[in-house]
Amino acid sequence: MNYDHLANQDPEVFKVVLEEEKRQNEEMELIASENYVSPAVREAMATVLTNKYSEGYPGKRYYGGNQFIDDVENIARERAKKLFSAEHVNVQPLSGSPANAAVYFAFLEPGDKVLGLKLDHGGHLSHGHPVNFSGMLYNFIQYEVDIKSGRIDMDEVANIARREKPKMIVAGYSAYSREIEWEKFKEIADEVGAYTFADIAHTAGLIAARLLNNPVPIFDVVSTTTHKTLRGPRGAIIMCKKEYASQIDKAVFPGMQGGPHDHITAAKAVAFGEALTQDFKNYAAQIIKNARTLAEELMNLGYKIISDGTDNHLMVVDLTNKGISGREAEEILDKIGISASRSTIPGDPRPPFNPSGIRLGTPAITTRGMKEDEIKKIAVWIDTAINNKDNPQKLSQLKEEVKEMCKAFPIP
Ligand code: DSN
């Protein structure tokens, strides 16, 4: 991208941008929620559409001059509908947590009972954690994964739902590597009279490519961020059945937000257009192949992967048997130029700031074009770094090797 104006006008900020660009180019991204957008998505984000105010929706705005903004929002809506077979889509949510807040706002009253997966079992803060607005405003009952299998035990979910009679059941997670039984969730919800809400922020790209089951035709309401496997700009969307369209739209605006970010809406439209292509489907399939290879290679090296593998783009590695914490592993990997995120393991005895595991994901390295051969090398680097955590010389040698591979697979 051309940064001429930024470089001339504000060298202080420009320097930081260049430093981050260099870091991204020379280092490897294994954070499961990150990705690299295409140049077209970046260009859309840098357009004059950022200058506009457009409270309201296409055809019904509270400001003049929105004829072209209406067009771009309609394109984004239609593409998202097609991508997920959705009856209605709101493309205005600013990010994942505000989208989830709008969903709760649309369907619940403060104090209502909701079922959500516990954070340390792979859930998200906005699925009822006590320090988050969701846990403060609503009466969340938390379900867990089965500690032994690392998988959601649907019989246990059904038992809790029958006992607690929640008004809503939340499924879709941040650190869960297995396919989700959407139909079974819907059956349970129907039995107890609960709404079904899926948060597919992590797996949206894989669902759009039809490589994982799609909850959109099954659930009442589904949210997703647009910047993870979906590879769009930072932001979110909410999809729902037609009958809930008006309450969702009202919850987003005027309920939760003011003016939408129209430049981001344009970038969402571009990303949805990309996700509709065969190239994207191939990309999504490679993400899964890469994640499976990484999990297998790490297991061969003696690592415990929660649920013994993955169906999607991520895995949680339990480091207990390696004698280091997730935070230490994150710091060691940082030293060799690999970014990853510490993660709790189900039932973690350690605190979230220094938990027992690390979460790894393949969306970003797959965008760079890395495939199984590269993944095998990455698994060995991770293991070698952990085994040589107190050997600075070895760590710098690994950093050089990581950098060499990154140079061979430039960011688009
Ligand atoms: N921060 C995101 C993640 O890493 O999963 C979720 O909000």
Residue-level pLDDT at 49? 98
- Counting atoms of ligand 1 from 1, which one is nearest the CA of 126? 7
Kindly report whether the peptide bond that precedes residue 254 is cis, defined as omega within 30 degrees of 0: yes
Whose C-alpha lies nearest to ligand 1, atom 3? 33
Q: If you write DSSP's letter for every residue of 166-181 in order, what string do you get?
A: -SEEEE--SS--S---
366 neighbors 290 (Cβ within 8 angstroms): yes
Residue-level pLDDT at 345? 96
Taking the C-alpha atoms of residue 315 and residue 183, their distance in angstroms, rounded to an integer, is 23
Candidate list 42, 113, 234, 377, residue with the active-site label: 234
Residue-level pLDDT at 1? 76
Buried b (16+ CB within 10 A) or exposed e, 149-163: ebbbeeeebbebbee
Whose C-alpha lies nearest to ligand 1, atom 6? 174
Sheet hosting strand 113-117, strand order edge to edge? 88-90, 236-240, 221-225, 195-199, 168-171, 113-117, 139-143
pTM confidence score = 0.97
- Counting atoms of ligand 1 from 1, which one is nearest the CA of 225? 7
Q: How many of the other CB atoms lie within 10 Å of CB of 374?
A: 19
36 neighbors 367 (Cβ within 8 angstroms): yes
410 neighbors 25 (Cβ within 8 angstroms): yes
Residue-level pLDDT at 2? 83
- What's the one-letter identity of residue 319? L
CA 33 to ligand 1 centroid distance, Å? 6
96 neighbors 133 (Cβ within 8 angstroms): no
- Counting atoms of ligand 1 from 1, which one is nearest the CA of 34? 4
Q: Is the CB of 33 under 6 A from ligand 1?
A: yes
pLDDT, tens digit (0-9, with 9 covering 90-100), for 316-349: 999 999 999 999 999 999 999 999 999 999 999 9
Please provide the size of the chain in residues.
Answer: 412
**Domain ranges within the chain, ordered by starting residue:** 43-275, 280-408
Q: If you write DSSP's letter for every residue of 27-89 in order, what string do you get?
A: SEE--TT-----HHHHHHHTSGGGG----EETTEESSS--HHHHHHHHHHHHHHHHHHT-SEE
- What's the one-letter identity of residue 157? V
Q: Is the CB of 224 under 6 A from ligand 1?
A: no
Q: Which CATH architecture has domain 43-275?
A: 3-Layer(aba) Sandwich (3.40)
Told to judge if 265 belongs to the known catalytic residues of this protein, a careful annotator would answer no
Q: Which CATH superfamily is domain 280-408 in?
A: Aspartate Aminotransferase, domain 1 (3.90.1150.10)
Residue-level pLDDT at 326? 98
For 329-370, the three-class secondary structure string (H helix, E strand, C coil) is HHHHHHHCCEECEEECCCCCCCCCCCCCEEEEECHHHHHCCC
pLDDT, tens digit (0-9, with 9 covering 90-100), for 306-317: 999 999 999 999
Told to judge if 225 belongs to the known catalytic residues of this protein, a careful annotator would answer yes
Q: How far apart are the first and last CA of the chain?
A: 11
**Weakly modelled stretches of the chain, pLDDT under 70:** none
- What's the one-letter identity of residue 372? E
115 neighbors 166 (Cβ within 8 angstroms): yes
Residue-level pLDDT at 165? 98
Residue to mutate, 124, 134, 316, 358, ligand 1, most ligand atoms under 8 Å from C-beta: 124
Whose C-alpha lies nearest to ligand 1, atom 5? 174
Residue-level pLDDT at 187? 98
Told to judge if 53 belongs to the known catalytic residues of this protein, a careful annotator would answer yes
Q: Compute φ and ψ for 346, nearest 5 degrees.
A: -55, 130
pLDDT, tens digit (0-9, with 9 covering 90-100), for 23-63: 999 999 999 999 999 999 999 999 999 999 999 999 999 99
Told to judge if 226 belongs to the known catalytic residues of this protein, a careful annotator would answer no
* β-pair type (236-240, 88-90): antiparallel
CA 174 to ligand 1 centroid distance, Å? 6
